[in-house]
A and B are shown apart, each in its own frame.
Chain A
Amino acid sequence: MNQHILSTYDDELKEVRSVVVRMGSLAAEQLADSMRALRELDTELAELTRVADKKLDALEVIAENTVVGVFARRAPVADDLREVVSALKMTTMIERIGDYAKNIARRTLEIADGKGVILMPQLLEQMSAEAHEMIQDVMDAYVKRSADDAVAVWERDDHLDNLYDSTYRQILARMMENPDQIAVWSHYLMIAKNLERIGDQATNVAEQVFYTINGEFLEDARQRRNAGD
């Protein structure tokens, strides 16, 4: 895409994009850390991850201020408008991903603290690997400006939802088998839900990336394609 005649405008948009990307990688990192802490029941790491969420919150504030500045001074239109509107929405979505990771860390502390420690179910490992990859891939799609890659992430959400259903059933079965372990299993159940929600947020980010690039909502584009237009 051609550069703006006002190069400072390009600098500001670059700054907006860079904050989004930094938030994306930070969120992916927090998810990975929280899951490692859970896997190893490493309370120190869990505590660090819980606190690290503040960095993400701070970046969200920076993104918001930068975007509001662009609106106030540049009156963005067309691609620029979509870029900043999407950035504003995406940072909120990514910040939520951070919140879910924080919640996993918090539950890890509870699990590690409880009696009769039970190691995490294997399915959670699969779920988190999938969610982590979705975050990374959607951020790659954003950086590469690839609508196709964004669609590919969007389509993967079904797989994560299916994994969640299996995990849910498995954990429910464990609860019935061992009623005395219900407290721990409910934490795992909530963690599974968190991972599923992270996938949803990554999907939302994918929709936003698609819109930024094409100026069209992903749902509309798919409906049009299905209608054979």
Chain B
Amino acid sequence: MLDMAEEKDLQSTVKPKVTLRDVHVHYGDVHAVNGIDLDLYSDKVTALIGPSGCGKSTLLRCLNRMNDTIPDCRVDGEILLDGKNIYDAKIDVVQLRARVGMVFQKPNPFPKSIYDNVAYGPRIHGIAADRTSLDEIVESSLEKAGLWQEVKDRLDDSGIALSGGQQQRLCIARAIAVSPEVILMDEPCSALDPIATAKVEALIDELSGRYAIVIVTHSMQQAARVSQKTVFFHLGEMIEQGDTTQIFTAPREERTRDYITGRFG
């Protein structure tokens, strides 16, 4: 097992997909994220861990400018996607969010049919030329999300009629449908039971070669199971980042150790 991480390391493309340089986030006077330098790779799952309020979700939401809608929020520093600053004035945010998809803590399918949930993105981005190609995108997205077999005979049923785990996989299918390059996941399994969690984790594994996946999780075991790289945050600062196996067997920083082992820190 040890060597899955190492193998991924060897395969790692030299160029990072996303690069963060000295990123700071303020909510009004609150300095929520303090000077983060981090590289995210296409062939790696990166887990962001840390106690509540450490800034990990805030940072995740910067990666597709989800914080834009929060009035007091200010992002400084550089976040580069394929070398281009995503906070540049010329960037089309809608386009950016198609390239950098997001899956939330609570499954949030639209109150539409399963089909329309997945077809929504391709329609608004004009990705499908006709109904046939839209059908293909819906099928392949549901297939990649591991949901096709379960829903293929009831694509017209409402998305919100599915079980929690299926809804979450539907949301992942919806994110995949617009061919993103990066997928952000904010505690995607916290509302799911162990079986549904295992299915989502298997899916993350499955997708990990094709997309740069960044997952925020409060479950240490989940971070250990799904990621190849782990980053630990505390009070807005990045304390340690490293190969997941190393972080979970021999973390270098005492604060990382105290947090992952459940000690008073």
> A residues touching B (Cβ–Cβ < 8 Å)?
1-6, 9, 75-82, 214-216
Contact = CB atoms under 8 A, between A and B. Distances in A.
Is chain B's binding surface mostly helix, strand, loop or mixed? helix
Interface string B235-265: 0000000000001111100001110111111
A2 B264 contact: yes
B231 to A, nearest CB: 16
Nearest to B252: A215
Contact of A4 (B248, B249, B250, B263): B263
Contacts of A6: 262
A3 B261 CA distance: 10
Given A75-B221, A77-B220, A77-B224, A2 B250 contact: no
A193 to B, nearest CB: 35
Nearest to B248: A77
B250 A77 contact: no
Interface string B217-240: 000110010000000000000000
Interface of B: 220-221, 224, 247-251, 256-258, 260-265
Give the 4 A-B CB pairs with smallest separation, nearest first: A215-B250, A2-B263, A77-B248, A2-B264
Contacts of A216: 250
Contacts of B250: 78, 82, 214-216
Is chain A's binding surface mostly helix, strand, loop or mixed? loop
Nearest to A214: B250
17 contacts: A2-B263, A2-B264, A2-B265, A3-B263, A4-B261, A75-B221, A77-B248, A77-B260, A78-B248, A78-B249, A78-B250, A78-B251, A80-B261, A81-B248, A214-B250, A215-B250, A216-B250
A4 B261 CA distance: 7
Contacts of B248: 77-78, 81
Contacts of A1: 263
B262 A4 contact: yes
Contacts of A4: 261-264
A6 B264 CA distance: 9
Contacts of B224: 77
Contact of A82 (B247, B249, B256, B265): B249
A82 B260 CA distance: 14
A2 to B, nearest CB: 4
A77 B257 CA distance: 9
B211 to A, nearest CB: 27
B257 A5 contact: no
A215 B253 CA distance: 12
Contacts of B262: 4-6, 9
Given A78-B249, A215-B250, A216-B250, A2 B258 contact: yes
B150 to A, nearest CB: 30
B249 A5 contact: no
A78 B221 contact: no
Given A77-B248, A82-B250, A215-B250, A5 B263 contact: yes
Contacts of B261: 4, 76-80
Nearest to B220: A77
A78 B260 contact: yes
Given A77-B224, A79-B257, A215 B263 contact: no
Nearest to A9: B262
* Residue of B247, B256, B262, B264 with most chain A CB atoms under a 10 A cut-off: B262
Contacts of B265: 2
Contacts of A76: 261
Given A76-B261, A82-B250, 11 more contacts: A2-B265, A3-B264, A5-B262, A75-B220, A75-B221, A78-B250, A78-B260, A79-B257, A80-B261, A81-B248, A215-B249
A80 B261 CA distance: 7
Contacts of A82: 249-250
Contact of B264 (A5, A79, A215): A5
A84 B189 CA distance: 29
A77 B249 contact: yes
Contacts of B247: 78
Nearest to B221: A75
